[in-house]
Amino acid sequence: MSAIAIPLPSGLREVAADRGRLCATTGLPVCAVAQRFIKLNAVTAVVFLLVGGIAALLLALTRWQAVHLLNAEWFYRIVTLHGLNMLIFWILFMEVAILYFTCTTPLNSRLFSEKVAWVSFGMMLVGAVMVDVVILKGQADVMMTSYLPLLAHPLFYLGIILVAVGTLIGVFNFFATLYVAKRDKTYEGSVPLVTFGATAAAIIAVVTLLHGAIVMIPTFTYSMGWTPAPDPMWYRLIWWGLGHQSQQVNVCAMVAVWYFLSSVTVGARPLNEAVCRGAFILYVCFINIASAHHLLVDPAVGASWKIWNTSYAMYLAVLASMIHGFTVPAGVEVAMREKGYLRGLFGWLTSAPWKNPGFSGFFLSLVIFGFGGGITGVTLGTEQINIIAHNTLRIPGHFHVTVVGGTTLAFMALAYYVIPLIFQRDFVGRKLARLQPYIFGFGIVLVALGMSFAGSMGVPRRSWDISLAGAYGPAAHLMLGVVGIGGIIAFAGLLLFCLLCVGTLLFGESNQGRAMADWGVAQPATGAAPVRLEEHDHNATKGTFALALIFLACFAVYYFANWKALADVWPVK
Amino acid sequence: MSSIVSPPSDWCRAPAGHERIWLGLALGWCLVLSLMMPFWHFKGKQNSRGEAYAVKPDAFLARAEKFIAANKVGEEKQGPNVIPIVEPPPGGDAYLVARMWSWNPIIKLRLGQTYRLHLSSIDLQHGFSLQPLNMNFQVLPGYDHVLTLTPTSKGIFPIVCNEFCGIGHQMMVGRIVVE
């Protein structure tokens, strides 16, 4: 594991050992309290992932019109369950785990407070279980968005408020830890990039959760009959301050995971810290106006408001993603070239450790997020193009390659390191684990393709049956079949992941006192002398640059094809 | 330096090489993306201006019933319901009421004429999705959402609801006919 061993100043060793342990693999200090809550949150996250995954399979097998498994009532109930468990519970619990890691180990710090961590975890867990029970009892068939005047049982809103406040308390623990680490000078200079990215995610999370409180509290009091009904358009505007920004928390956390995994699997380093950090700051500054993406064909918000807000002020947050999409693979390329993989444009990429699920999972996440999620997201979120996309299956087609193919896959890849390093157990079923990212990635890409094509043919999202409309032909039905098959494959990948994680926790061999079993990190090429490339060698990243140009070309083709499709429909204003 | 340790103190440096070129390209592309929208707003024919007026659900229903009575040209039995078929005057206003789970009335339009189509709901949120053109607009209670629409193709166009509105959501199908 030479790629991830990091020398620690000797003075810090004793301090670190005093409040936890030194990692036998990396040499980094692990705070015992943080470790306990990373474990708790990560395990809970995987349980919710499994609940959401079972829901996903049922939905895929229902929208596949030839199978049509659930009845209408249960279909809508399970859509609600799926959305909340996947988008909120799985991801938030995992993100709290990531926050606790990034504010302790990389900073040689202890977690600020064990009590606060318990309060946060307890509130989140109670809230999430409350929401799931209310949904399964059939008292909240309102979708994740719960658009007013549609009304759920008050405990549904109360559960969401508990999860949001619990998360907010976890985020507070993160910031307090940053403060304590800075005050006690546990590290020198600037915080590491991974911590910086997590901090950006935490800042966005605060803004997001405040939106959640603003919209959910009056909705809760209304559902209790205490206050009058909030305006439905006001609800949409504020709710999406929660709904969309929370996805930006995911993007931020995912990018931080990309940087982390590229470091531990191939020894990549950020090409230019200033550029990477600047891109995170762009997220923080400009993402909060992305709420407008969901209101582009709404009444009462005008064209100039829509244009300014949908473009995140000249697309500066999109710019941030395009920067990370370049700097992460560029870091991998430089590291691989320094190891002697110099052949051609892509020799560095083909020689990368593709059998390491930490690497393959993260790199697939990067490609799926960029080529799939990024291009479709910007295009569908264009003010006028949204007319031919709003509320069709194109929308879930987009976010299943951002949140699932991107964030979820990156978090799965992370688990292949979290479990050996934090739970100190080596994975069981290592051959299957090496395949898992590919199975899951392939399945989810199929799901997204099926959804996107069906949506282009006008098939609505969140609809139990499209045959009643009489508007959809065999091609649309075929595409829903693709969604069904992709859903089965993705679920197989997800189930495999959950079984491997649980199996490892129960039966995995303990690696206490020794380095974790190596997944296969990038080694220097045989016969090549290790080189240190110039910080900005003009030819060092030509492979990444070529990939970036291909990306831009795909983006332009998809984007302008959509303008053409829009130009073909009836004039409207 | 790895991304999990603190960077050296001189980390703040200007981008160079490929990274710098990519930054320029990405920024340029973002400018294209942002300029396309105002360009289309002035030069394009499909826009969503969000023109809307506050209206109480019963007031909207009353306006729609008046519109139906004045312009009715027929009716169609759909199960237990009778849905009126209405032909608004070219260039005039048309009203479409969304409710759980129907669109009322069936609207007949003339090719190439421009109409002001008023959309509103009298109960939950609904989604106006005109097929197979795949044009989609949000319909809210309390908001009279006005689309200035010019049909440029003939035929029968189903209106599907694409905002979840309860258990019968998928049955909510209406129609625009263009002659």
Instruction: Provide ipTM, 2 decimals.
Output: 0.95
Instruction: State the pLDDT at residue B99.
Output: 95
Scanning every residue of chain B, which has its alpha carbon at the shortest distance from the alpha carbon of A553? B29
Res. B159: pLDDT tops 60: yes
Contact (CB, 8 A) for A448 and A405: yes
Q: Which residues of B touch A72 (CB under 8 A)?
A: 167-168, 170
User: Minimal Cα distance from A144: which residue of B?
Assistant: B164
pLDDT tens track for B94-126? 999 999 999 999 999 999 999 999 999 999 999
In a domain, residue B151? The reply is: yes
Domain residues for the domain of B147 are 52-178
Inter-chain CB proximity B48 and A472 less than 8 Å: no
- Determine the residue of chain A that is closest to B143 in CA distance: A299
Chain A residues whose beta carbon lies within 8 Å of the beta carbon of residue B40: 383-384, 563
For residue B115, being part of any structural domain is answered with yes
- In whole angstroms, what is the distance from residue A261 CA to residue A280 CA? 17
Give the model's confidence band at A525: pLDDT under 50 very low, under 70 low, under 90 confident, else very high.
Answer: confident
Query: Is B111 among the domain residues?
Result: yes
Q: Specify if B159 maps to a domain.
A: yes
Could you say which of A150, A548, A571 has the minimum Cβ distance to residue B124? A150
Cα→Cα distances A97→A24, A90, A481, B66, Å:
21, 11, 37, 60
From chain A, pick out residues whose CB is under 8 angstroms from the CB of B173.
468-471
Q: Nearest Cα to A317, choosing from B86, B30, B66, B143?
A: B30
Q: Would you say residue A490 has pLDDT above 80?
A: yes
Q: Tell me, what amino acid is at B176?
A: I
Q: What is the DSSP string of B11-35?
A: ------HHHHHHHHHHHHHHHHHHH
Q: Chain A residue with minimal CA distance to B123?
A: A149
Q: Is residue B67 part of a domain?
A: yes
Residues 6+ apart with CB under 8 A from A10: none
| CB contact B141 to A (< 8 Å) | yes
Given this model, what pLDDT does residue A343 score? 86
pLDDT of residue A245: 85
Q: How far apart are CA A248 and CA A246, in angstroms?
A: 5
* Confidence band, pLDDT 50/70/90 cuts, at residue A3: very low
Rounded to 5 degrees, what are φ and ψ at B155? 140, -170
CATH number, position B106: 2.60.40.420
Q: Is the pLDDT of residue A532 over 80?
A: no
Give the C-alpha distances (Å, rounded to integers) separating A87 from A184, A238, A493, B129: 36, 18, 18, 26
Orientation of helix A273-286 relative to helix A312-338, angle to 10°? 150
Lowest mean pLDDT, pick from A255-269, A307-321, A431-445, A543-557: A307-321
Q: Into how many domains does chain B fold?
A: 1
Q: How many CB atoms lie within 10 A of CB A168?
A: 19
In a domain, residue B2? The reply is no
A572 CB neighbours in chain B (<8 A) are 45-48, 135, 147-150
**What residues in A contact B50, CB-CB < 8 Å?**
298-303, 305-306
Question: Smallest CA–CA separation between A42 and chain B, in Å?
Answer: 20
Q: Which residues contact A433 (CB under 8 A, 6 or more apart)?
A: A357, A416, A427, A500
Q: Is the pLDDT of residue A11 over 80?
A: no
pLDDT score of A286: 84
**Residue B43 in contact with partner chain A when CB distance is under 8 A:** no
